[in-house]
Structure formats: C-alpha cells, structure tokens
Amino acid sequence: MSALPAPGSQESAPPPRRFWESGPASWNRTLTSRRVMIPFFLVALAVPLVLQWVEDNSSWIGAQYWTLILATCAMYACLAVALNLVVGYAGLLNLGFIAFFGIGSYAYALVASDQIHQRYPLWAALLVVIAVTLAFALLVGVPALRLRGDYLAIVTLGFGLIMRDLILDLDRPPVLAGHQFGPDTLNITGGTNGIHQVQPFSLPTSLPLLGPVPHYRMYYWIFVGFLALCIYCMLRWRNTRTGRAWVAIRDDELAARAMGVNTFKYRLLAFSLSAVMAGIVGMINAAQIFNAFPSPNFDVQTTVMVFIMVILGGLGSIPGAILGAIAFTVPPFLLQQFVFYKYLVISLVLIAVMIYRPEGLLGTVSIRPRQTMGGTLELITAEAAIEASELPPVTDAEPSDLEEATGAIVEDPEWKQP
C-alpha cells in the first residue's frame, strides 16, 4: 500500500482510561478476565464458611438460612447463564426454556427414588439426565428451529405449556381415542404431588480440613461449582469457532451462511447445549430438595423470571446474568415485609431499564420489534435496527413471497421497483 493520508484520524480516539467510562463491551471483558473470575469464585466458595464463623462467634443466627438463599441465587445464575447461551449468543427466543429444567429434575427423580424403583449411581443418573434433556431438545429443536423470531418463541412457549400438562397428567395411564395405555396403577410423575423422597447425591458428609459438611452447604458448593463450569465453557466457546458462529448468526444470518456457517446445525447446537445445562441444574435442584414438583419447575412465571434476569443484566453478558440473578433472588428475602409489592417493584425496575438502557446493564444487544417483517420481534443489534428502519415495510407482500422477500428485497434493493 502506498503512503496515503489517513482519513480516519477521528476514528482513533484515545481509549477511555477509567473503568466505568469504557462501555459495556470493555466491562464484560474486564469482568470475565481470569483475574476477576477466579477471586470471585474463591470468595463465593468461602462465603458459607464465613457465615458459619460469624454465627459461631456472635449472637446472630442465620448461616443456614443465608446459605440456602445464596444456593437459590447460584441456581438462578446457572439458569441465566444457560439461557444466555441460547438467547444472548445464538439469538433464539426460547420461551420454553424452563421446561428443560423441569425435565432434568424429573428425569433424575425417576431414576433416584421409589417412583419406578430405580436408584442409579450418580454418574449413571447424570448420563440419563443428559440423554433425556437432549432427546427432548432435539424433538422440539429439529422442527422448531426452522422458524425465526417470535414464531419460534410461540412454538417453544407451547412446548413449555404442553410439558407442564404432561407432567400433571402422567400420574395415571394416558388415554388416547378411548384406548388406555398401560395398567390402571401406572403413575410416572405423581401428578400435582410430584415425586418425593428423591435420594441426594452420594457424596462424602465430611471433607478433610473442613470437617463435617452439612447438606445445604454441600449443595451451595455444587451449584457454585456448576456455575463456574458453565461460565468457563461459555467463555471458551465465545472465544473459539463455535461461539463466533453463534454470534455471527445472531448478528446477520445471511452473511453467516455466505461464510459457510451451517446455520441450522449451530442453532440446534446452542438450543441443545442450553437445554442440557438447564437439565443438569434441575437434577441438582431435585437432589437438593429431595423432591421434583411441577409448580416451580414448569411455571411460565419461572421462565419469565429467568428472562428478566438475563435481560436486566444484558443479553450475551455473563457477569450481567450473575448480577441479574442476585438482583432478583436476594432482595425478596431481605424485604420480606414488602413481599406483596414484589412484582410491582420488579415491573417498575424493568420499565426503567427498558427506557434508559434497553440493552440491559452490561449488554450490547437489545430486543426490538423489527419494522420490515410486519413487526416481527427478534433480537436485533442497534446497528441493524437503524438499517431495518430505513428499509420499506413489506407487510403488503404476497405470503408466498415472504421467504423470497428476506432474500430478494432486504438483500437486493434493486427489486424494490417492480
């Protein structure tokens, strides 16, 4: 290249020096670096020991209570990170996400209780949970991932509701067209009662140096450990070929395809991996509370809760997901006397976030309706939103041409004329 004058001199502004001025992308990079993540998890692991020490040396009681709250918090953080994979990285609105959490906990409960008289060792139960959630993810994903945006959201929402009804109704043999399948005594899921007396993981009850470890503390550590594992995987994926392909599909599917990314394969991969993560969290939860219930496991409300955590923290941001999980699990316990106003406060906070920071606290992507495709809701970057708003609406297009429209009209402005 010849020595030309550099016209882009205004581009090379000096990078802001202060952390809080450097913007969400840089915040995420700093907060997910090794020198922040490793101390964070070490502190998180030590917290119940500190609580215990305070309880032993003062009149305060509540080490167990607060460890349980923090375990719930860690569980929601795991779910938020798993949801971040499918929504934040790959840009798929999966509203049936929480069903996989439920499927995981029921799969574990079935092979670790007297419900069908199976008590598998931990490793075998883990394989069963992974296999079952993966099977359900493929069952839904293979047909549904051919859809985009809010169409996918509706199908996955339907899946979540069907799974809930299935769990509630499988305490008796299914009857289809007047024919009963199985004997009268068949009871797989226990209906509204759920499955009781699920065995916890067979883990040592005391550790060297730490002495006896109570159940609640052990499961707190398991949740934090699994959270660390999930985050490690997510960060590795984001920095290698697979994660780049996911974000590329989210940013611009057509360009990703033109660069040789098999978009269907990668969407399915993100969908199934996030389902398996949620399934394992469900399994740990079932072992922690000795039960598998239909109510929190399959409620649409729980899905919404996890979505709120991810959106508040910022789609695609892992520190944001942890922040969101903390923000929505700890305050309700601190403010017990205001519990009636819980949802009022949550909605006010969300409205404020949507007005002042639609991409979330640490996020760079936001959910906005896309004007061009008849108001289809999809994950859209700020840049793409501007570009889309400049294109003419194609709502009056022939339905049969809609598929064409994405390729021909959005892609090829020459074809606006006819």
Partner 1 sequence: METTLNQRPVSLQIRGLTRRFGGLTAVDRFDVDVNEGEIVSLVGPNGAGKTTVFNLISGVLRPTGGSIMLQGQELVGRPAHRITHFGVARTFQNIRVFPQLTVRENVLLGTHHWTRSGVLGSVTFWPGTIRAERAAQAEVENAIALFRERLEPRLEDPAFALSYANRRRTEIARALAARPKLLLLDEPAAGMNPYERIEMAGLIRSMRDRGLTIFLIEHHMPLVMEISDRVIVMDHGVKIAEGLPKEVRTNPRVVEAYLGRRAASA
Stretch that binds partner 1, among 33-41, 111-119, 249-257, 341-349 (CB under 8 A): 249-257
DSSP of 236-260:
HHHTSHHHHHHHHHHH-HHHHHHTT
80 binds partner 1 (CB under 8 A): no
First to last CA, the chain: 43
335 binds partner 1 (CB under 8 A): no
370 binds partner 1 (CB under 8 A): no
248 binds partner 1 (CB under 8 A): yes
* Helix residue ranges per DSSP H, 145-214: 149-169
CA 134, CA 141: separation in Å to the nearest integer?
10
Strand 211-212 and strand 206-207: the pairing is antiparallel
DSSP of 65-133:
HHHHHHHHHHHHHHHHHHHIIIIIIS----TTHHHHHHHHHHHHHHTEETTTTEE--HHHHHHHHHHHH
Which of 64/242 has CB closer to partner 1?
242
Q: How far is the CB of 280 from partner 1 (least distance, A)?
A: 15
User: How would you class 302 by CB atoms within 10 Å of its CB: exposed for 0-12, middle for 13-18, buried for 19 or more?
Assistant: buried
Which of 135/382 has CB closer to partner 1?
382
Which of 151/264 has CB closer to partner 1?
264
Q: How far is the CB of 398 from partner 1 (least distance, A)?
A: 8
Q: How far is the CB of 171 from partner 1 (least distance, A)?
A: 37
81 binds partner 1 (CB under 8 A): no
Stretch that binds partner 1, among 33-41, 324-332, 368-376, 380-388 (CB under 8 A): 380-388
Other Cβ atoms within 10 Å of 194 Cβ, number:
22
CA 101, CA 279: separation in Å to the nearest integer?
5
Which of 11/21 has CB closer to partner 1?
11
4 binds partner 1 (CB under 8 A): yes
Q: Which of residues 257-286 bind partner 1 (CB under 8 A)?
A: 257-263, 269, 273
Binding residue for partner 1, selected from 116, 255, 344, 345, defined by CB under 8 A: 255
Which of 49/255 has CB closer to partner 1?
255
